[in-house]
Structure formats: structure tokens, C-alpha cells
Amino acid sequence: MIDDEIQQTTEDLLIPQDLYLQVGIHIGTKFKTKDMQRFIYKTRSNGLSVLNISMIDERLKAAADLMSKVNKDEIIVCCRRENGWKGAKKFQKYTGIKVFAGRYPPGILTNTSLSTFTETKLMLVVDAWPDRNAVKDASVIGVPVIALCDTNNQANNIDLVVPCNNKGKKSLELIFYILAKEILKNTQKLTEENLPFTVEDFVEE
């Protein structure tokens, strides 16, 4: 099946296409919304949608570039989905960007009287539906939101959609690896050779 879904890309991808395929980053759901239709490469005979790898890669680069332009203390990542917790915590370890793995604390962006009030200029959510309270808070105060979106996601109040399999554990681990890698390359001028981690540190066998 992987061989059937190799997408002949001519662009320079952030990682080899084989890695994207191995973790199933391109495998969507049987349901597709109008918002996500343009990111779909094809539909399998079993009804599962397959996302366009070039567009996944392009949007991951855009997300990393955007996050690199904001002070790390003014970015938050929200991940209600348990499959993303390991990757998200690794991302926090290497980038210093604050991650809420699990329940998002309501009001931390909007209620200045809270001791946990957080000044935020950019938010990344792993899935706009389970992370909807965070997206709602961000929209109230005008904080831009980057969202990892599967084929069944709506894009309401999302400023940058990153199409991907946002449910699979390995897919999410690879995404956090790529974002951490690109952010450190952009902000600390590191190269692939002197990064403090490898893809194996993020993605479990």
C-alpha cells in the first residue's frame, strides 16, 4: 500500500518522503470536510482519504517558520489527545516552548486575575476539536492559531492549517520532531549534524 501512495515530489522535503509514509502522516479518515478537501491527494478503495505529502511538508515548514519568529515564552502548545503527549513533551524539552499535555486550563489567556495567566502571541493545537476551548480563548483575544488537521476537521478560527494524521502516535511524534528541528535550525542556527536530538528520540519503534 505504501508503494502505491508514493507521491512523486520534486520539492526539497524537510525529511525523506519514506519517513512520512512509514508513520502514516498522510493517512486521513473516511470523513472529509470542505475545509480539508484541497489537501487530499486521493481516496483509497476502503474510503480512507490520503493527504498530499507535499502540502503537509509545506505547511509544517510554514508553521515552524511562524513559530521561529515569536519568542518561545509567548507560544503555547495544546494537546488534549493522549497519543501526542510524548512527542509534545519532547518538543517542550528541546525548544522551551510551553506545552499543555492533557486538559487545557480554562481562562489562562483571558483572565488576568488568574495566577496562571499567560501572555501568548501564538498557539499550536494538535486537534481543533478536543482542543476547542483553547482555540476559543485564542480567538477571543486575537491570538493566531496553528492547528494540525485531519480530513475530518473543521478550520473555524484557525489561521494556519497543517494537514496531517493528527490521531496516530508515531505521526504526531514525527510532527513534533520536525517542528523542533526546524525551530532550532531557525533560531539557534543549528544544522542537522549538531541538533541535540535525532528522529529516534521522538519516534518510537
Which tens digit of pLDDT belongs to each residue from 127-181? 999 999 999 999 999 999 999 999 999 999 999 999 999 999 999 999 999 999 9
CB-CB contact of 88 with 95 (8 Å): no
Cell numbers at residue 195, please? 541538533
CB 25 within 8 A of CB 56: yes
| Angle separating helix axes 169-188 and 85-95, nearest 10 degrees | 10
Q: Please report whether residue 183 resides in a domain.
A: yes
8 A C-beta contact, residue 67 and residue 179: yes
Tell me which H or E stretch contains 149. strand 145-149
d(CA 68, CA 20) in angstroms, rounded, equals 23
- In-domain check, residue 98: yes
Nearest to 129 by CA among 78, 173, 69, 182: 78
End-to-end CA distance of the chain: give it in Å, rounded.
Answer: 20
CA angle 152, 155, 159 (to 5 degrees): 145
Residue 4 lies in a domain: no
In a domain, 17, yes or no: yes
Q: pTM score, two decimals?
A: 0.94
Which residue is listed with cell 492533557? 102
Residue 5 pLDDT > 80:
no
3-state SS assignment for residue 20: helix
pLDDT tens string 56-77: 999 999 999 999 999 999 999 9
What is the number of domains present in the chain? 1
Phi, psi of 5 (to 5 degrees): -115, 10
Kindly state whether residue 6 falls inside one of the protein's structural domains.
no
Tell me if 148 sits within 8 A of 174, measured CB to CB: no
For residue 55, the domain's CATH number is: 3.40.50.10490
The answer to whether residue 86 is domain-embedded is yes
Structural domain for 38, as ranges: 12-202
